[in-house]
Amino acid sequence: METAEIVRRFLAFFEDNGHTVVPSASLVADDPTLLFVPAGMVPFKPYFLGQRTPPYDRATSVQKCIRTIDIEEVGKTSRHATFFQMLGNFSFGDYFKERAIPLAWELITKPVAEGGFGIDVDRLWVTVYLDDDEAAAIWRDVVGVAPERIQRMGVEENYWSMGVPGPCGPCSEIFYDRGPAYGAEGGPIADEDRYVEIWNLVFMQYERGEGGAKKDYPILGDLPKQNIDTGMGLERLAAVLQGVDNIYETDTLGRILQETAARTGVVYGADERSDVMLRVVADHVRSAVMLVSDGVRPGNEKGGYVLRRILRRSIRNLRLLSGGESSFLHDLTDTAIKAMAGIYPDLHRGAERIHEVIDTEEKNFADTLRSGTALFNRAAERTKSAGGAGISGADAFQLHDTYGFPIDLTLEMAAEQGLQVDEAEFRSLMQVQRDTAKRDAKAKKLGNADIGVYARLLEGSGSTDFLGYTDHEGEARVLGLIVDGASATAARAGQQVEIVLDRTPFYAESGGQLADTGTLTVEGRGSIDVEDVQKPIPGLFVHRGTVTEGEIVVDDTVAAAIDSDRRAAVSRAHSATHLIHSALRNALGPATGQAGSENQPGRLRFDFTANKALDTAELAEVEEEVNTVLAGDIPVRYFETSLDEALSMGALAMFGEKYGDRVRVVEMSDYSRELCGGTHVGATGQLGVVKLLGESSIGSGVRRVEAAVGIDAFRRLSKESLLVGRLSEQLKTPSEELPQRIDSIVSRLRTAEKEIERLRGAQVLQAAEGLAKSAREVGGTLLVSHTAPEGTGADDVRKLALDVRGRLGEDRPVAVVVASVPKDRPVVVVAANKAAQQRGLRAGDLVGVAAGALGGGGGGKPDVAQGGGTDPGALDAALRAVAQRVADAQ
């Protein structure tokens, strides 16, 4: 039975039994505590926690899931996978054990001809929690399972909680016996390799308190409503129904694995090491396809890091399998799309975009892998020659920071050579980098309140009606206040407050458009400056600001008014973003897609996917095209329709964005048509003018254009015109000839700078002969100490030290130390001949002494080394310190 048919049967069975079929949520979790959805119940978590009222009593779904905690085990076992799918049925206070258990048994054992899975009852075993006599009795007396096939297990195996205070309860699991060839008899207690768990039924009936994640917590009492949460791994069930040994041989993963084997010329089953690599590639390619289809892009943080990590593991394993460079990833991506499209038809529609993202990452990593591998090999060779057992954290960090090597890849490569990696040092360096990088936007998006506070407000008051498409002001009622992260009944002058209204003209930041600002006024009693508006959970507008006078109280009626001039400027920027998107697609091709944006008053940035930079001519063409559309004063139309209808009209959807059944379309004739919830102008002529300010790379395969719009664009153009006029006047050159004139001046200037550097270097080297003659004997070593003229560059200092050392020959020990201050920071170079090295005077050690006196550090080879510091006034002290070390080496 193919995987797609398993899905169809499962959903049809539970729909026939009164369950609402709920589509899979995105892999990217809505829950701010999670990166990805790791289990089938996660989208229903607010219902189980009582944060929201479920719109149905019974539900069933096939949920896409990602888990990366065991990524190193992927391919080594028959169970671990990064991406997997959970078949589930859920009851929210409707039925409980008495219904959940028989339903599960019926579907599993019902003949295939009657719509079931037709598994032989003699192959099935069940487990229950130690003291769950109720579940055991249902299995035995209602379902008819033989008592000897019902086994009891403890907290670790058969008790569930979320790991935090909230719902908990016993579990009951169904196991499939694979037969004597796979292990010992005796049921799941005896051998879980032979007896494979295929379905877990969770009975949420108690409320737990604070304590450990799995155990050692108190049971506070019964839940007001008993709930059912079940999960059956689709891949495991497919392996059972298709009669294969493991999930990698099923019809979906198996197609990718066999294609990988064929492309690399490796026979699956011939060698365990290559089998593991084939399974890793199959799992990771499928996982990458599903992540990209849900809008994740390779990056160095959060979900982007996970995607980059699995893609790069795939690429490296492909190279190891093929014995060199490979370019198979595109074909394997295509195989994965076709293998999964039977369950997720949208993969076909997004195939071009998926290929673009994955192909770009493969291309970029090819260069990274070559450069990074060479650096790793040098570090490994250095470690081994020094008799060490580990790669330093600094080397691992450089691999990550400079070459994009995930630490996991460095760990794998080190393990292959019998080396370890100083992970503690690596993590420390990573933390320093994070601390100096831009701060996370979490405080802005979620404020100081717990997500539960917002959920309770939404549950109690309902969603906020947005009036802002038509109105810039209006009356509203205060539904809730949050002060210092907690619900409050009032807020007074000077306090920062979050306000939830029943209706609002304020746009909440989303879709790249910044939030509105404005005021809320309680007549005769108080006013609030609104500085930001966010939607921490869907449907709830939270106005953040400061009470400037008086007070505001829950149930107050307020006059809400936005800053209309600011809104107009932001709307112009947002409309310009749509036009730039269309112009870029016309210039670069339809595969060019939006990867992010920000629309603020008079300015915008637009991020897009592209494999190359736009040159000056292409950028000018995009700008001209956009402004030609503005001149046409095309009306901007907005309307709502179904998602399918919008897509059939050619409306562009933001890649990876989540849309409901009804969507809003923003249309500018046939030139631009996009799904968008933002605010826009009434006609393109209202934008005035759009001026592109530049284009740059912001990541692998993602580029950014920035632009000024309207009066801001005019001011920019006015300043540029004034600047061009002044240059033309000063250089006595017509404006159209300025580029050539400036190029000529810059060229002459560079030539003059090079000549000055040459003359300065020659002057410095002229001192070599005199310095060699000035060598003094210190403890049997000829020592030359010299401070070069201020401004002498490090290269010239190095050349001078080597020249002097060469003039003194190899007959006697020679050490030369030359220092200078090229750019406010001192530099020192030490050169030592072989005779000096034999006496223990190594250049790297001596430069460390000098650099220490300068307040810095340095290093190098035994014959020549360079260092520096921060204290230019310590040059004499540095030279004296080296002389003392030479004297001590007698």
472 is in an annotated binding site: no
- The two structure tokens encoding residue 187: 């049921």
pLDDT tens for 869-882 read 888 888 999 999 99
CATH 2.70.150.10 applies to domain 443-562: no
Residue 80, annotated as binding a ligand = no
Tell me the torsion sign for CA atoms 412, 414, 418, 422.
negative
Q: What mean pLDDT is predicted for residues 458-464?
A: 80
Average pLDDT over residues 860-869: 88
126, pLDDT greater than 70: yes
Mean pLDDT, range 803-819, rounded to an integer: 91
Q: Does domain 769-888 have CATH number 3.30.465.10?
A: no
Architecture of domain 3-244 in this structure: 2-Layer Sandwich (3.30)
CA 810/CA 833 separation, integer angstroms: 6
Q: Are 864 and 843 in contact (CB under 8 A)?
A: yes
Confidence of residue 435 (pLDDT cuts 50, 70, 90): low
For residue 413, how far is the Cα from the chain centroid? 23
Q: What is the pLDDT of residue 326?
A: 67
Mean pLDDT of 812-838: 90
In this model, does residue 444 exceed pLDDT 50?
A: no
Give the pLDDT of residue 413. 79
DSSP code of residue 406: -
Is 680 annotated as ligand-binding?
yes
φ, ψ for residue 622 (rounded to 5)?
-60, -45
Please give the pLDDT value at position 383. 80
> How far, in Å, CA of 464 to CA of 699, rounded?
37
Least confident of 565-574, 712-721, 774-783: 712-721
Q: What is the pLDDT of residue 859?
A: 76
Burial code (b: 16+ CB inside 10 Å, e: under 16) for 855-886 equals ebebebeebbbbbbbeeeebbeebbebbbebb
- pLDDT tens for residues 180-220? 999 999 999 999 889 999 999 999 999 988 887 777 888 99
Strand ranges in 720-868 using DSSP code E only, listed in sequence order: 776-778, 781-787, 814-820, 827-832, 857-860, 864-868
| Helix (H), strand (E) at residue 652 | none
Query: Above pLDDT 70, what percent of the chain?
Result: 95
What's residue 136's pLDDT? 96
How do the domains of the chain map onto residue ranges?
3-244, 252-377, 443-562, 567-718, 769-888
Residue 637 tokens, joined: 């139309």
Q: Read off the pLDDT of residues 537-551 as tens digits, 9 standing for 90 and up.
A: 888 999 999 999 999
Query: What are the distances in angstroms from CA 184 to CA 102, 195, 209?
Result: 28, 9, 39
pLDDT band at 332 (very low <50, low <70, confident <90, very high): very high
| Residue 617 scores a pLDDT above 80 | yes
Give pLDDT, residue 683: 95
Query: What's the pLDDT at 403?
Result: 65
pTM above 0.85, yes or no: no
pLDDT in the model for residue 441: 39
**The predicted structure's pLDDT at residue 376:** 82
Output the average pLDDT for the chain. Answer: 88
CA distance 221 to 204: 12
Q: Which is more confident, 409 or 616? A: 616
**Sheet strand arrangement including 864-868:** 776-778, 781-787, 814-820, 827-832, 864-868, 857-860
For 755-810, how does the pLDDT look when each residue is reduced to its tens digit (9 = 90+)? 877 777 677 777 888 888 889 988 889 999 999 887 788 888 888 899 899 999 98
State mean pLDDT over 105-121: 96
Which pLDDT tens digit goes with each residue over 43-89?
998 888 877 789 999 999 999 999 887 777 787 776 678 999 999 99
pLDDT at 235 over 60: yes
Which of 211-225, 362-376, 433-447, 457-471 comes out lowest in average pLDDT?
433-447
List phi, psi (to 5°) of 810.
-115, 5
Task: Quote the pLDDT of residue 665.
Answer: 95
SS3 38: coil
DSSP 243: T
- Note the CATH number of domain 567-718: 3.30.980.10
Tokens 């329709």 label which residue?
Answer: 641
On the question of a common fold for 3-244 and 567-718, the answer reads no
Of 160-164, 289-293, 664-668, 739-743, give the lowest mean pLDDT range.
160-164
Structure confidence by residue, pLDDT tens digits, 258-286: 999 999 989 998 888 899 999 999 999 99
Q: How many CB atoms lie within 10 A of CB 431?
A: 10
Among 167-176, 216-225, 313-322, 454-463, the range with the most confident prediction by mean pLDDT is 167-176
**676 annotated to a ligand binding site:** yes
* 314-331 tens-digit pLDDT: 888 888 888 776 678 999
- Distance, first Cα to last Cα, the chain: 84
pLDDT at residue 158 is higher than 90: yes
Beta bridge partners of 211: none
